[in-house]
Structure 1
Amino acid sequence: MRTKNLPPYAPTLIESTRAIGYSLETAVADIIDNSIAANAKDVIINFFPIDDAYITILDNGKGMTEEEIDVAMQYGSKNPIEERSEKDLGRFGLGLKTASLSQCRCLTVISKQGRYIVGRQWDIDHVSEVGDWSLNVLEEEDIWCIPQIDKLVKNESGTLVVWQKLDRLKAGEFNFELSLGRNIDHVRDHLSLVYHRYLAGESGITKLKISINGENIKGIDPFLSEKSVQVMDDETLVIHGNKILVRPYVLPHISNLSSGEIKLLGGKDGLRKQQGFYIYRNKRLLVWGTWFRMMRKGDLSKLARIRVDIPNTLDHLWTLDIKKSSASPPAEVKKNLEVIINQIAERSKRTWTFRGKKEVSDTETHVWNRMKNKQGGFYYEVNREHPLVQQIIKAYPDIEVSLNALLQQIEMGLPLNQLYVDLNNDEQIINDNEQSDGEIVKSLQEMITMCADKQEKCNLLDAIACIDPYSSHLDIVEKLKEEILKND
């Protein structure tokens, strides 16, 4: 048997890998992964949309030698099954090249260690012209022509990545400067979420500072850890001798969130789409807002989020893709996660329907009764035994028929569909606002005006004490009773 060496044709392969599917934000994140692996503490991103537009990403990491930069610029420089250091966020040895060239036709990488500076460049137009894997080795005079090089030189060490010939970003845009501004917003939001644990300086990792055009990025905690409830203890799954840490959260009810918090937690897609698993690899967020088909996304589970930390030693089991934006848990992990899903989904349901919990409690008197019809569906009717309804009928017996007719019209006109829409818009509704003590007192005083004597007033207050929200203000009810008995 003979063998024949068939290396891929460079122009074709490079053009093909440009279509892997990177967005601008995922491409930038792939470069930052390399900065983190190089122990960088600062990453400076600059977008320059005018004339010969470019994008630069500069870090103050350990930098690279001649040999290391050649390896970094080589396609497939690392085997994905090789063991890596814990800080390594790469896998295929393709990210730097495929991410960069998905956005531009010219990638320049310059690295510094002490007094030594080395530079390499992939220029797709040059590769197409010569028809070979021809990497440009930059001389000193070439290096000094690269944008932002003066900032790299000021560092003791670091790496500068430069994207030029931004053909993909310019394609179909009438106003490139305006469109790039919108893209910058997407990049900022993406990095704020993906690296939020690095930006916060979480224990065990070096705190990272990222800026875009001079503006520092603030991390977005998708669990709102300070206000959310960790409904279960951390659970550790051991797969092939490697530990996976699982931490479930239930977000606060919308009534307890500010509009800014709702926007941060839900993003442009809303809370419903952001529920589910948040998969971290070495504390870098990979995938979020999915249940991996183990449960449907529902409105009652939209407050549930589960943080899952996996090591890079299990990449092959999670079928991590080149862009690091897609992963799927292995069957042995799914089995353990299903138990956690059922528990946290139920807790989310109870939190979301917290105002309805009293509707099924025998210790409370409710305004609305939830009824089941013959077809198996549900409808709501006003509780005719409610103390206030009974007191009105007792005080004004002549209006009982008219009152019942009015209540029936209210029941028939209940806008259930609109209520469903309003509740799922991640917006606070006024019914969720708590009443002040003064408002409670005024409301109670208005109710007892229809009573004939002090005993009837006290009896009404006793009945009202079992009604929300007055059941949470029993001290006010008792004080009002004392005043009635003392004054009358």
Structure 2
Amino acid sequence: MASNPHAIVPAHLAVQAMRDNGYKNAAYAIAELMDNAIQAGATQVELLCGEKKKFVNQRGRSCIHQIAVLDNGCGMDTDVLRLALQFGNGTHLDEDKHTGIGKFGMGLPSSSVSQCQKVDVWSWQNGVENALHTYLDLEEIKQQRLTEVPEPEFKPIPEVWRRVGKSFDKTGTLVVWSRLDRCIWKTGSAIIDNSELIIGRMYRKFLESGQVSIRMLAFDLDNPGTVIVPPKEALPNDPGYLIAKTSCPAPFDNKPMFQPWEGDSEYEWTYPIEFRGKSHEVKVRFSYAKEEARAGQNPGSLPHGQHAAKNVGISIVRAGRELELDQTLVIKYDPTERWWGIEVEFPPSLDDLFGVTNNKQSARNFAELVKFDIESLLKDGTTISQLKEEFQENEDPRGPLLDIIQKIDSQLNIIRRLLKAQTKGTRSGNKRHTGPVAEQVATAATEERKKEGHVGQSDRDESKPKEIRQTEITETLRDQGVTETQAKDLAAKTINDGLKYTFAEADLETAAFFSVKPRGGAIIVTLNTSHPAYDKLVEVMEKDVDNVDAETLRTRLSNSLEGLKLLLMAWARYEDEQPDGRRRQAAQDTRVDWGRIARQFLELEE
């Protein structure tokens, strides 16, 4: 057959170019076929990997030879089957009617040619024995012997697929890839191992709800009874770790590893968007690790921690199906990043706003906007509303996404500080110390001051029952941002050991370096971990010293001394800025009184 010599893009060259459509790997290409199956109402989908023995230097090894995806969806008639193999065509192109996970009419042909040179499709609507068949063959297209999708015809499904597939129903579709020349994984085992995590994450909502099950199997094509990878069902892989039964290793295989972030009363934040004259909803969900997930030494090296390390980023979900795990905001060098989860879910009607690509692997507009430093754009008093108006004036469609990005950025900062507090522990009882711990010394010094007639606000609560005092201390610590477990442990130790003081660490929304709260007969001192003085004076000294060289220790001590000097100079400047009169005198008196009490506390330690 002769091609049109005046075609803008010769068909055989266009198809060759489409082989480079940008699928990240075979798992993402396979997902396109699963999209079609789910769109067709399938409740069962199978990934079947057929291997054959290949001899290299007289040594035989089993390699992937064909890949098939089988489903029990509604099947296709002649017209639809032919459309399905046309690039850019399909039955889900009407934007007004579109609500499902398909849309672009590119999935089947483009994903197939990205991995193989030939794709065969069988589909049936009235029993497997009535299956229609058609195909695409890149060699025939290259030689211009195939210029259009062949007319579907009745053709029996090869017996090998009938033997290994379990989802052959009254209706369904079977897609088979052969002459695999671009699949980076060379065995059925590698394909299934790598696909299981990705596919489980992409379709986690469908798998969790039971809407669809995905079976995976690798076998010998020459001897279908020989199983290479036993049949396995894909489990949900939730990067937000809020689903109970998932592929996460024990002890979190049957219970959520994370908890919803409830900083705004609920973990799901719904944002209404007006786009093209219609109202749409975008949902953003936040989660973070439970304390038990991070308990013990180096939890990131445990199986559940390693699993979380493979799911770092913002999960972008379209119509219940994940497009990608965007890592733009991830701090790559920080292992703590594995312990938070963010999910952004939007309907297909917002595809153009989010910039969904044809291969459904990313939301381009969203990803590009995440990279922007929005705070730098809000300088000189510019508001988000003004910035959105500027986007609108420039006909930039991304304006409505600004609020969402800013929300994610601010919320993520809060969650990161909370995660930092989870592992900080408390300041009492868990540090090596050659003498009495500071809390014990301060308690003894306070008793001496009480004998001298000095009365504190906290003293009046010492007569309360221990249970009430412990509850009050626990609640105060928790309100300060200390985790539940740490708050309970610290309160119990304070009461049981008869301590007057207790130290904690938390991210405080104040400019102060520390807070002082008299509660339950005790004085709670909470260090503000977000204050620069914390890094200079506290954290630098808390770090492990067992395997640190002398020069590093000297640097730490020097930094700590510099931090102390800066604090004292800051106080000096505070006094210097006070106007002459009562305020300046009050500041000077406060410095003297504090110094007098500090001397008493420090002398007692000696």
Using the size of structure 2 for normalisation, the TM-score is: 0.55
Partner in structure 2 of residue 20 of structure 1: 21
Q: Is 1:125 paired with 2:144?
A: no
Q: Contact 1:95/1:323 (CA < 8 Å) preserved in 2? A: yes
Report the Cα distance in structure 2 between the residues aligned to 1:166 and 1:24, rounded to whole angstroms. Answer: 10
Q: Which residue of 2 aligns with 1:242?
A: 279
| Greater RCO, CA 8 A, separation 6+ | 1
Correspondence for 2:399: 332
Question: How many residues are aligned here?
Answer: 381
Contact kept, 8 Å, 2:70 with 2:167, in 1: the verdict is no
For the structure 1 residues 128 and 355, does the alpha-carbon distance in structure 2 shift closer, same or farther, using more than 3 Å as the test? closer
Q: 2:169, 2:96 → 1: CA distance?
A: 27
Distance change (3 Å), C-alpha of 1:99 and 1:353? same
1:345 & 1:435 partners in 2: Cα distance?
23
User: 1:465 and 1:244 mapped to 2: Cα distance?
Assistant: 50
Deviation at 1:332, TM superposition (A): 2.3
Q: 2:172, 2:409 → 1: CA distance?
A: 47
Taking a change above 3 Å as real, the CA distance of residues 387 and 82 of structure 1, as seen in their structure-2 partners, is same
Match of 1:210 in 2: 214
**Identical pairs, percent:** 20
Show CA shifts across 1:256-295 (max 9, x none).
357343233321xxx6xx13x321111101122335x6x8
The answer to whether the 8 Å contact 1:366/1:383 transfers is: no
CA–CA separation in structure 2 for the residues paired with 1:122 and 1:290: 36
CA contact (8 A) 2:206 2:212 kept: yes
Kindly provide the CA deviation profile for residues 207-242 of structure 1, in whole angstroms up to 9, marking residues without a partner as x.
Answer: 110011021110012212244123333222223123
Residue identity matched to 1:265: A
8 Å Cα contact 2:47-2:214 kept in structure 1:
yes
Which range is displaced more, 232-241 or 297-306?
297-306
Local SS of the residue matching 2:76: coil
Q: Quick one: distance in 1 between partners of 2:211 and 2:92?
A: 27
Segment drifting more, 258-267 vs 188-197: 258-267
Please point out which of 230, 240, 247 is paired with 2:261. Answer: 230
Q: Does the 8 A contact of 2:282 with 2:347 survive in 1?
A: no
Contact 2:439 2:501 in 1 (8 A): no
Counterparts of 1:185-196 in structure 2, within 5 Å, are 185-196=193-204
1:106 corresponds in structure 2 to: 118
Deviation (angstroms), 1:249: 1.5
Q: Aligned to 1:323, which of 335, 340, 359?
A: 359
CA distance in 1, matches of 2:30, 2:240: 24
Distance 1:62 1:123, change over 3 A: same
Confirm or deny that 1:57 pairs with 2:69. yes
How far has the Cα of 1:305 moved from its partner? 2.8
User: Equivalents in 2 of 1:185, 1:357: separation in Å?
Assistant: 37
1:94 and 1:210 map into 2 onto residues whose CA distance is 22
For residues 154-208 of structure 1, give each alpha carbon's deviation from its aligned partner in whole angstroms, at most 9, with x where no partner exists.
4100000000111123x7x8xx43xx4223211111101010000001xxxx611
Distance 1:228 1:436 in 2: 19
Shift of 1:253: 4.9
Do the aligned residues in 2 keep the contact of 1:230 with 1:250 (CA within 8 Å)? Answer: yes
Deviation at 1:382, TM superposition (A): 11
Match of 1:93 among 96, 105, 123: 105
Q: In the aligned structure 2, how far is the partner of 1:351 from the partner of 1:302?
A: 14
Whole-Å Cα distance in 2 between the matches of residues 74 and 6 of structure 1? 17
> Which segment is superposed worse, 124-133 or 382-391?
382-391
1:350 aligns with 2:406: no
Contact 1:83 1:313 in 2 (8 A): yes
Change (3 A) 1:212 1:85: farther
Q: Which residue of 2 aligns with 1:148?
A: 161
Structure 1, unpaired ranges of 5+ = 369-380, 394-431, 445-457, 475-488
Decide which of 289, 305, 310 is 2:346's aligned counterpart. 310
- Determine if contact 1:250/1:347 at 8 Å carries over to the other structure: no
CA distance in 1, matches of 2:361, 2:147: 28
Who is 1:40 aligned against?
42
Q: How far did residue 245 of structure 1 move?
A: 2.8
CA distance 1:123–1:435, shift in 2 (3 Å): same
Q: Given the superposition, is the C-alpha separation of residues 389 and 154 from structure 1 closer, same or farther in structure 2, using an over 3 Å criterion?
A: same
Change (3 A) 1:129 1:365: closer
**In 2, are the aligned partners of 1:89 and 1:282 still within 8 Å (CA)?**
yes
Match of 2:208 in 1: 200
Normalising by structure 1, report the TM-score: 0.67
Letter of the structure 2 residue corresponding to residue 75 of structure 1: F
Query: Residues 7, 306 of structure 1: CA spacing in aligned structure 2 closer, same or farther, 3 A cutoff?
Result: same
Residues 1:290 and 2:345 aligned together: no
Residue 466 (str. 1) matches residue 474 (str. 2): no
- The structure 2 residue matched to 1:182, chosen from 190, 193, 199, is 190
When structure 1 is superposed on structure 2, of 320-329 and 343-352 the one drifting more is: 343-352
Say if 2:304 is the partner of 1:261: yes
SS of corresponding position for 2:116: coil
Task: Evaluate the alpha carbon distance shift between residue 253 and residue 55 of structure 1 in structure 2; reply closer, same or farther with a 3 A threshold.
Answer: same
Which residue, out of 288, 292, 317, partners 1:280?
A: 317
SS at match of 2:497: helix
Pairs within 5 Å for 1:365-376: none
Deviations 1:297-329 (A, max 9, x none): 684665443222211111112111122111132
2:65–2:180 CA contact under 8 A, matched in 1 = yes
Contact 2:120–2:176 (CA under 8 A) maintained in structure 1:
yes
Q: Which residue identity lines up with residue 403 of structure 2 in the other structure?
A: N
**Cα RMSD (Å) of the superposition?**
4.2
Whether contact under 8 Å (1:44, 1:57) holds in the other structure is yes
Distance of 2:49 and 2:362 partners within structure 1? 27
1:10 aligns with 2:11: yes
Unpaired runs of 5+ in structure 2?
54-63, 218-230, 243-255, 367-396, 446-483, 506-519, 521-606
For residue 365 of structure 1, report the CA deviation from its aligned partner.
Answer: 6.5
Instruction: Note if contact 1:10-1:131 (Cα within 8 Å) is conserved in structure 2.
Output: no
